[in-house]
Structure 1
C-alpha cells in the first residue's frame, strides 16, 4: 500500500482539483436555485423584487460567455461592458506572458533533467520536450497576435 502511495502521490493534485471544482459548481447551483426560489416568492406575493436581487441574478447569467450572435439581444451597453471585461484576455500581452511562463517552466524541466542525480528522471526530459513544444506554439501565437491586431 505504501508503494502505491509513493508511486502515485501526484494523483492527489488532479483529484483535489476535481473535488474542489465539483464543490464550487454545487455551491453555484445552490446559489442560483436560492435566487430563483426568492424570485418565485416575490412573484407569488405580487411584489416587485429588490433591484439588488435582480442585479445579482443578471450578473450571474451574464457571467457565462455568450457567443457573438447573442450580443444583439442586450444592446450597445452590454457589448461595451463585455468588451471592457475581456479587453486584455485576448491581447498580445497575455499571449507573450503565456509564452514566457511556459518557456520558464520548460527551462526548469530541462535543467532538472540535465543536472539531477536522481535515477529515473527521464520523465523530466519528457515533460521538458512537451513544454518546449507548447512554448514554441505560444511563441508563434504571440508573434501572430502582435502582427495582426484584429
Structure 2
C-alpha cells in the first residue's frame, strides 16, 4: 500500500466535493490526471482528461490516496501513467451516473473495462446523500492520511 502522505505514480487520488468525491490518478510528481466536465458544475455533458497540479484540484488543499480496491491487482505504475498520459486532451461524454471521474481513474488503474464508480454503486444500493456524506467523512478523517497544503 502506498504512503498516504504523498501519492505515488499510478495511485488513485480522491478530492472531496460536497456530496461527491472527485478522482484522478497521480503521476508521482505532484500532478493528477483526471476526467471531468469541460465546464463548471456537474451534469451530463462533454468531459475531458486533464493533467493539473494536485494543489489546483484539491479544494481547500484536501486530498487522499484512495486506490479503491484491495482485491483487484492494479496495472503497473508505468502502464497506468502511460495510459493516463495518452488520454490527456481526449474528450468523452461525462455522465455522473455512468462514466464519471471515478470510473475513468479506476479504469486507468485496473485496466480498461475493469473500473467502477463506488459512488454510483452506493446510490444503486439505496444509499442516500447522508450515507454518502458519512462515507466521505470517514474517507477523509484524521486517521486516513488526509493532506492539507
Structure with a larger share of its residues in strand:
2
Structure with a larger share of its residues in helix:
1
When the two structures are superposed, what TM-score results if normalisation uses the length of structure 2? 0.20
Greater relative contact order structure (CA < 8 Å, 6+ sep): 2
Larger Rg: 1
When the two structures are superposed, what TM-score results if normalisation uses the length of structure 1? 0.20
